[in-house]
Structure 1
Amino acid sequence: MTALPEGLEQSFTVAAGELGMACAAWLFVENVAREAGDAGVGALRDALGRPFPVLDAVAAQWLAGARALNTDPSRLLAAVEGSAGLVVVGLEAFFLDVLVARLPPDTRCALLCHSPFDVDWERVLSNYGGRVEPVNLESFQAWAGPRSVLLTFAYGVGGHSANVLPAWVRATGEDVRTQFRALMAWDVLPAPMFVYPRWLVEVDAASFTHLFQA
């Protein structure tokens, strides 16, 4: 059996907080594969797959031959064209990086600072040079309006359901749904999850006005 470094679970928890679960999973899988090949990826999945189902799914993708993460935001950008404000619920750094870089300069962007992990939000936001503003569950509705969009990251869309972070459910009550022009999801894990989706909740895929897959 391939030996893995000690403290990997704690390291992944930190990375998931700073990067997002899907981005952290790809980072870990790629680095383990570089050092220990597919056997190492299998060992990583055995060690951390149950507590981190997104990592489990990404490792399974890798072992099935996937080698790249698709972060192209083109379809999403077309859908938000003309928006005055975009509020992002959830953090997936590689996806957010390319999205923010290509947003029109007159579209304001905010990130809901809420996560199941410990996050240094000031450090996360500093990566965007003031382009992304912080909001919380009490203040984000100030961004609502007929030209505003609410966006979340989804983790595996199967049939009529999608997995999202609990913050999305807290943020999208009936009163909020009527206040934003669109409620969008960007599926950053277009693959099935084989273990119980801890950290996530299931919602009706039809509840989104737009759903994009990576």
Structure 2
Amino acid sequence: MTRSLPPAFDQAFLMAAGELGMCSAARLFVRELADEGGDALVAAARDRLGRAFPVFDFVAARFLDGDRAPSIDPSPVLEALAGIARLLIVGLEADFLDTLVPRLETTKIGLITEPVGIELNLRRVVANFGGRVEPVNLSDFQAWAGRRSALLTFVYGTDGHVVHVTPTWLRIAGPDARTQFRSIVGWDILGRPLFVYPRWLVEGSRDDLSRVIGSARVEEPRARPSAAPSEAAK
């Protein structure tokens, strides 16, 4: 018998996204849903949450299409950041930061603590890194600039010259940032465009980034089980 989703499931996911980031929370929820009720429960959650939370929709779709345990490889990001002394991060994704931060042993790391689209407790996140990551106000980001400084933001899929990013990134990106930082790196943690409208995110210019890591070709998702053909095609 297939288990049903709890009434407050939507709110629980939103709270988790505030602590972990949208993709990291989606990875956690999909794993737990699969353990509890298999593919059927993952599909039910995607059908219920997918339009409201497009990153969850993407992660659930990839899981249902066979990508059961996607690994995180920070090596290309580390290569792009080689030789820097300071790294300022815009956005929150706990799973990805957990793989990256310990490998930047001699790098000073800061995290912008302004909201990034959903209500995030970024200062609490900073505390979880035991002093390795400093909180940085948006108004102070230029203090991190320099010839051995880099900016890193999370990207949620690309489409030509467009990248989907958090709203905070648009308050930093632009010609001034490109002249003040050695590298401006976008880590495309999905690797493909989102399947539904990118709520919570905004469109940015790929040209504002010196390098985008992780982007790949477009693949069609599996249709939602309960969606009508006309709805699934939207």
TM-score band, normalised by shorter chain: over 0.9
| Aligned-partner Cα distance in 1 for 2:90–2:185 | 10
Which of the two has higher C-alpha Rg?
A: 2
Q: What is the count of residue pairs matched by the alignment?
A: 213
1:30-69 equivalences in 2 (<5 Å):
30-69=31-70
Encode CA deviations 1:123-174: one digit per residue, 9 max, x unaligned: 2111111110011210111000111000000001233322111111111132
- Extract structure 1 runs of 4+ deviating beyond 6 A: none
Q: Aligned residue for 2:73?
A: 72
Judge conservation of contact 1:73–1:99 (CA < 8 Å) in 2: yes
* 1:3 CA drift (Å): 1.4
* 1:6 CA drift (Å): 1.7
| Aligned-partner Cα distance in 2 for 1:151–1:131 | 16
Judge conservation of contact 1:14–1:117 (CA < 8 Å) in 2: no
| Aligned-partner Cα distance in 2 for 1:74–1:47 | 35
Q: Aligned residue for 2:196?
A: 195
**Partner SS for 1:167:** helix
**Partner SS for 2:39:** helix
| Aligned-partner Cα distance in 1 for 2:193–2:174 | 27
Q: Aligned residue for 2:165?
A: 164
**TM-score normalised to structure 1 length:** 0.94
* 1:98 CA drift (Å): 1.2
Judge conservation of contact 2:87–2:150 (CA < 8 Å) in 1: yes
**TM-score normalised to structure 2 length:** 0.87
Instruction: List runs of 5+ in structure 1 lacking aligned partners.
Output: none
My pick for the range that moved more, 127-136 or 167-176, is 167-176
Instruction: List runs of 5+ in structure 2 lacking aligned partners.
Output: 216-234
Matching residue's letter, 1:195 = V
Aligned sequence identity (%): 53
1:1-150 equivalences in 2 (<5 Å):
3-105=4-106, 107-114=107-114, 115-150=116-151
Matching residue's letter, 1:113 = T
Matching residue's letter, 1:5 = P
| Aligned-partner Cα distance in 2 for 1:8–1:89 | 28
Assess, with a 3 A threshold, how the Cα gap between structure 1 residues 149 and 15 changes in structure 2: closer, same or farther.
same
| Aligned-partner Cα distance in 2 for 1:102–1:7 | 37
* 1:99 CA drift (Å): 0.6
| Aligned-partner Cα distance in 2 for 1:36–1:161 | 37
